[in-house]
Structure formats: structure tokens, C-alpha cells
Amino acid sequence: MITTYLFYLLTFLAIMFAIRVVSTKNPIHSVLYLVMTFFAIAGHYVLLNAQFLAAVHIIVYAGAIMVLFLFLIMLLNLNKETEPHKSVWLKTSAVVASGLLLLVLVGALKGASTIQATNTFNPNIGLIENLGKTLFNDFLLPFELSSVLLLSAMVGAVMLGKKSIK
């Protein structure tokens, strides 16, 4: 009962904040609203009994990535004066592209409503023990591969950050 209300509240908040992310002029406000959106989504994870995912979501996205974003935007000192004016051509193409994306999303959702859940939902799947076992048994290869991907990204970042490559 309470969870239903919480679900609607969190959904409302997530959508509201997401809209504010796009609609605010100030990029700092944008980032902060995005952080709020992440919190609302983390709330959804908790409702799904996936506390681990919720915590990691907050630590990684809100705590690390968004801080770095904020960092960058603060140093860039973006404001209304320095905002470049975009041409009409660019604006129209953006409208068309996002309209097409909306169409695709609506079409996909329409198709999704007919799919039935094949296996019953295990409410404990999100707990950390189960998650760990699943990750290191069923999905070991993708898990390790993704870590290699992250490692290569790190190496690439270090290479880019170096002043000169000899």
C-alpha cells in the first residue's frame, strides 16, 4: 500500500526533475537536478528490494560522476552571456531528431505491452549475496570483460592526460 504511493511519488519526482534538467538555463542547476533524478531512481531500486544497486547507483553516479561533471561546469564558468547562439538550421534538425526518437520510444513501448513476464519475479534477486553469486557464476565472462573495458578506458584517460607522448 505504502509502496504504491511511494512508487507514484518517486516516479513523479523523477519525471519532474528530469524535465527540469532539460528546461533550466543554468548548467549547474541542470547537473543538480540530474543528481536529484538519480536519487529518485535509487528510491525505485530500494522499492524493488535492490538495495545494493541503489547504494552503488548513488555512490557511482551521484557521488563520483556527477561531482566530476559539476567540477567541470564550475570551472568552465558557463552562463547566459557565453552561451553560443545556435542557428535555425541546427534547431530544426534537433527538433526532428528528437521527434523521431520519441516516435521510436512510443513504438517500442506499444510493442512492449504485449510481452508477458516469462519467469516469476524473485524479490530477493537484488540482495547482495544473490547478486554476487549471479555475477560470479552465470555472468562471469561479461563481468570480467566489462572490467577489462574499464581498465582500458582508464589507461586511455591517463594517456590523454599526459602532457606529451614520446
Residue 77 region by backbone torsions, left for phi larger than 0, else alpha for psi between -120 and 50, else beta: left
The angle formed by the CA atoms of residues 86, 89 and 91, to the nearest 5 degrees, is 55
Q: Can you tell me the distance from the alpha carbon of 29 to that of 35, in angstroms, rounded to the nearest whole number?
A: 10
Scan residues 5-34 and list those touching another protein (CB under 8 A).
28, 32
Residue 118 carries which DSSP code?
S
Of 18 and 65, nearer to another protein (C-beta) is 65
Residue 123 carries which DSSP code?
T
Of 75 and 117, nearer to another protein (C-beta) is 75
Contact with another protein (CB under 8 A) among 68, 112, 158, 159: 68
Give the shortest CB-5-to-another protein separation in angstroms: 15
Of 100 and 136, nearer to another protein (C-beta) is 136
Contact with another protein (CB under 8 A) among 20, 24, 52, 78: 52
Q: Can you tell me the distance from the alpha carbon of 126 to that of 69, in angstroms, rounded to the nearest whole number?
A: 29
Q: Residues in the site for another protein, rule: CB under 8 A? A: 28, 32, 35, 51-52, 55-56, 58-59, 62-64, 67-68, 70-71, 74-75, 127-128
